[in-house]
Amino acid sequence: MTERKSGPGLQRAERSSLVAVMRRDGAKAADFAHRHGVPRWYDDADALIADPEVDAVYVATPPDSHRDYALRAAAAGKPVYVEKPMARTAAECEEMIAACESAGVPLFVAYYRRAMPRFVRVKELLDGGAVGEVRAVTVRLHAPAGMWQPDNLPWRLRPEISGGGLFVDLGSHTLDLLDHLLGPVETVTGLAANLAGRYPAEDHVAATFGFASGVVGTGLWAFDAAVRRDEVEIVGTAGALTFSSFGEEPLVLRTPHGEEHIEAPYPEVVQQPLIQLVVDELTGRGTAPSTGRSALRTARVVDAVLADHRAGR
């Protein structure tokens, strides 16, 4: 995450510099700092947060510690930029928001698709009427099961750390993007199951959504599938727009007049566009589109979809 997706963005963004890093393993923190030209490193989070030259704190740990570190940074009066998913549950997100609002510091969440040029183009097409009035959306994310060792599972598949499985880790990206593109979800129903039994988290999820805008939607996330599929289709009165959440292939716009393929590659550092907007807001030059409040809406949708499965587990 920090090597490729965010660390370089913190250094490349205008009016931003990466001045300190922390990891519990001090040798690894020192190695990162040396390789990336970071002036200081720590093996204690409180020491980094207390550093007088640190103006804002980026939390890039697994979700089970997001709340703790966000509360510590807020108590020190420092803005927080936290990785997604924002926390394991909406209740934890609410605690983070309350702490930051009480301290008078902003809270941002790394749902970076809101700022990536690829999805900025999607929003421009939708807002410009390319598909007419939006009526419906369908999400499909299918992937083969990984070769996981039961006694050495990655944290993303351990609900006590991540809040769920790959639906929480990957599905939240798409759900948050749809919140950005189509507005908040107003009603949601979901069914989650562990069908393959390879790990304790859900591996299949089906959901239906009703957006406050009137748009209706469905989603299917299958992580024990033979064939990969990554597709979001937004249907309107004048056409349909199809794109992937995680790929770089062209957007596909279909209308009665034909089919258009629109190039929309990823930036070199995927988080840099959002990081720049966060820096802009912190320096009084703009507004970032991904906040604790917007991420809370996504967390509530995830909670609603997984409610019965979590209760059964």
* Average pLDDT of the segment spanning 139-148: 93
In a domain, 13, yes or no: yes
Whether 107 and 143 share a structural domain: no
Instruction: Give the domain-ending residue among 52, 77, 111.
Output: 111
Q: Is the pLDDT of residue 1 over 90?
A: no
Burial per residue of 52-62, b for 16 or more beta-carbon CB atoms within 10 angstroms, e otherwise: eebebbbbbbb
Residue 84 domain boundaries: 2-111
Whole-number pLDDT of residue 133: 98
Question: 246: which 2 tokens?
Answer: 């995680």
- In which band, very low, low, confident or very high, does the pLDDT at 149 lie, cut at 50, 70 and 90? confident
pLDDT in tens, 183-229: 999 999 999 999 999 999 999 999 999 999 999 999 999 999 999 99
Whole-number pLDDT of residue 147: 82
Q: Which of 304, 123, 307, 97 is nearest to 209 (CA)?
A: 304
Q: Is the dihedral of CA 145, 148, 150, 156 positive or negative?
A: negative
pLDDT in tens, 38-61: 999 999 999 999 999 999 999 999
Whether 87 and 197 share a structural domain: no
pLDDT in tens, 159-196: 999 999 999 999 999 999 999 999 999 999 999 999 99
Instruction: Give the domain-ending residue among 95, 111, 127.
Output: 111
Q: Is the pLDDT of residue 313 over 90?
A: no
Whether 65 and 199 share a structural domain: no
Whether 95 and 59 share a structural domain: yes
* Average pLDDT of the segment spanning 122-139: 98
| Alpha helices (H) in the chain, listed in sequence order | 7-12, 26-36, 45-50, 66-75, 90-103, 117-127, 159-162, 166, 172-182, 272-282, 292-312
Better pLDDT: 45 or 147: 45
Whether 86 and 128 share a structural domain: no
Q: Which of 223, 193, 195, 218 is nearest to 207 (CA)?
A: 218
Instruction: Give the domain-ending residue among 66, 96, 111.
Output: 111
Whether 185 and 162 share a structural domain: yes
Whether 217 and 117 share a structural domain: yes
Domain count for the chain, please give it.
2
pTM of the entire predicted model:
0.96
In a domain, 7, yes or no: yes
Q: Which of 297, 311, 304, 312 is nearest to 111 (CA)?
A: 297
In a domain, 234, yes or no: yes
In a domain, 279, yes or no: no
In a domain, 281, yes or no: no
Q: Which CATH number belongs to the domain containing residue 193 in this structure? A: 3.30.360.10
Q: Which CATH number belongs to the domain containing residue 69 in this structure? A: 3.40.50.720
Contact yes or no for 308/206 (Cβ under 8 A): no
Whether 101 and 135 share a structural domain: no
Dihedral angle, C-alpha 193, 194, 199, 205, nearest 10 °: -40
Burial-class residue 180 by CB neighbours within 10 Å (0-12, 13-18, 19+). Answer: buried
